[in-house]
C-alpha cells in the first residue's frame, strides 16, 4: 500500500488517507454575511467524492472584522453554523473528514477579493469595508494602515477564536486549524517585521508567540479532547529581519506542549520577498519542523504529481501532503494518484457511481 493511502489516526479521528485538501479562499459569500452558499457545498462535497482524506475549508473568519474580503466565509454566528453543518454532512456522507481553518486577517482585512475585473487594495469604509486591526500600525504593502490593537482588542480576538471553535464542534467539524500563516493576524504577531509592540505581546520571541500560544491553549480547552487541533504556520518570511525557521521549530515544540497535533507548514505572505517558488519548495520546512519538534507535519507547495507526493512521505519529510491548486484543477486527484501508484479501484475511495470511469479502465 502506498503511504499516501495508509490511514492516519490523530486523537480519535481516523483519516482514510494522507491526501488532504489545503485551505483555499473561495471569496463566494455574495451576501457578505459570512454564510457558506451552494458554491461551498458543491466545492467541498466534490473533493470528498474525489477521494481526499481530509477537506479543510478556506480561511473562515472568527469575527466580521477578521475577514480578508467582504465575501469571506465566517463562523461567528449560528446562521453560519447551520449552513456549515450542511457542508459537513455532505463531506462525511462521501467518506472524508472535514476541518475548518479559523482565521483573522489582521492588517490584511477589508480588501477586495482577487477576482478578475475587480479592484485591488483595501475596501474603503464607505464601500463596505472596515478598519483593519494589527499588532502595530504598520501597513501591509499596498493596503491601508491598521489600527494597533489594544489589550482589550487582543482579549476579544482570543474569545472570538474560542467561541468559533465551539461553533465548529456544533457544526460537526472533525478538525480545527488555527491560521497563523500568510501574513494574517496571528502571523503578524509572530513576526518582528510586522510586530513593533513594546508590551507583553511584542519584542522577544516569548512575547511575539504569546497570542498564538494563548489562543491554542484556550481553543484546545474548548475543543473536544477527542478531536485534533492543527496550526498552519509560515515557517519563514523569506526576509532577513522577519520570522524564520529556527523560531518556527521552537514555536512548534511549544504548540505540541499545549495540545496541538499537527503543524500545517507553508511560508511567506507577511512582507514582500523573493521566494524561490518551484516543486516541493516548502517541503524542507515541514521536514525540519517534524524532526526538530517531534510533531506531525503537513507539506504543501506545488505538489502536483502522485509520485512526488508519495516520495515526501516515504522520505520522512511529512506525515501528510496537502494538495491545493492541483485540487482546484482536478477535484478527483486522489483517484488518479491511486491508479498511478498501482492500486485498483477496489482499493481506493471510488464512489460506486464512478467505478465505470476508473483510471485503470481508461488505460486498459
User: Strands, E, within the chain: which ranges?
Assistant: 8-10, 13-15, 19-21, 54-61, 97-103, 133-134, 147-148, 175-180, 229-234, 262-266, 296-299, 320-323
- Angle at Cα 272 formed by Cα 269 and Cα 276, nearest 5°? 75
Distances (CA, A) of 159 to 37, 153, 279: 26, 10, 38
Helix (H, G, I), strand (E, B) or coil at 116: coil
User: Smallest Cα–Cα separation from 166: which of 67, 65, 66, 76?
Assistant: 76
Q: Which of 184, 201, 332, 350 is catalytic?
A: 184
**How many other C-beta atoms lie within 10 A of the C-beta of residue 40?**
21
Say if CB 132 and CB 143 are below 8 A apart: yes
Provide the sign of the torsion angle of the four alpha carbons 18, 24, 28, 34, taken in this order.
Answer: positive
HEC profile of 255-287 = HHHCCCCEEEEECCCCCCCCCCCCCCCCHHHHH
Q: Is 184 a catalytic residue?
A: yes
Task: List for the chain the helix, strand, coil content (%; round to 5).
Answer: 40, 15, 45
Give me the active site residues, please.
Answer: 184
Amino acid at each position: 500500500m502506498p503511504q499516501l493511502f495508509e490511514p492516519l489516526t490523530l486523537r480519535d479521528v481516523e483519516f482514510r488517507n494522507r491526501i488532504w485538501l489545503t485551505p483555499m479562499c473561495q471569496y463566494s459569500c455574495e451576501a457578505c454575511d459570512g454564510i457558506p452558499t451552494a458554491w461551498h457545498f458543491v466545492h467541498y462535497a466534490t473533493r470528498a467524492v474525489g477521494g481526499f482524506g481530509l477537506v479543510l475549508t478556506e480561511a473562515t473568519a472568527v469575527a466580521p472584522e477578521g475577514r480578508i474580503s467582504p465575501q469571506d466565509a465566517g463562523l461567528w454566528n449560528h446562521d453560519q453554523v447551520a449552513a456549515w453543518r450542511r457542508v459537513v454532512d455532505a463531506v462525511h456522507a462521501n467518506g472524508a473528514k472535514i476541518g475548518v481553518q479559523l482565521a483573522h486577517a489582521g492588517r490584511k482585512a477589508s480588501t477586495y477579493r482577487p477576482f478578475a475585473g475587480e479592484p485591488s487594495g483595501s475596501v474603503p469604509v464607505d464601500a463596505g469595508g472596515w478598519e483593519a486591526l494589527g499588532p502595530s500600525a504598520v501597513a501591509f504593502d499596498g493596503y491601508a494602515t491598521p489600527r494597533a490593537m489594544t489589550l482589550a482588542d487582543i482579549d476579544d480576538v482570543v474569545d472570538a477564536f474560542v467561541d468559533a471553535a465551539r461553533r465548529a464542534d456544533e457544526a460537526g467539524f472533525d478538525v480545527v486549524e488555527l491560521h497563523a500563516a500568510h501574513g494574517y493576524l496571528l502571523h503578524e504577531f509572530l513576526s518582528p517585521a510586522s510586530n513593533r509592540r513594546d508590551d507583553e505581546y511584542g519584542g522577544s520571541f516569548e512575547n511575539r508567540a504569546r497570542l498564538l500560544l494563548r489562543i491554542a491553549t484556550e481553543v484546545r480547552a474548548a475543543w473536544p479532547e477527542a478531536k485534533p487541533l492543527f496550526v498552519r504556520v509560515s515557517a519563514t518570511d523569506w526576509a532577513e529581519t522577519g520570522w524564520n525557521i529556527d523560531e518556527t521549530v521552537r514555536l512548534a515544540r511549544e504548540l505540541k506542549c499545549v495540545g496541538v497535533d499537527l503543524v500545517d507548514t507553508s511560508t511567506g505572505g507577511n512582507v514582500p520577498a523573493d521566494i524561490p517558488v518551484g516543486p516541493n519548495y516548502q517541503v524542507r520546512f515541514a521536514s525540519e519542523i517534524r524532526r526538530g519538534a517531534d510533531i506531525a507535519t503537513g507539506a504543501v507547495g506545488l505538489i502536483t504529481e502522485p509520485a512526488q507526493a508519495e516520495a515526501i512521505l516515504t522520505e520522512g519529510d511529512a506525515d501528510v501532503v496537502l494538495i491545493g491548486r492541483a485540487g482546484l484543477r482536478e477535484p478527483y486527484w486522489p483517484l488518479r494518484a491511486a491508479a498511478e501508484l498501482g492500486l485498483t479501484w477496489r482499493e481506493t475511495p471510488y464512489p460506486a457511481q464512478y467505478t465505470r470511469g476508473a483510471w485503470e479502465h481508461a488505460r486498459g
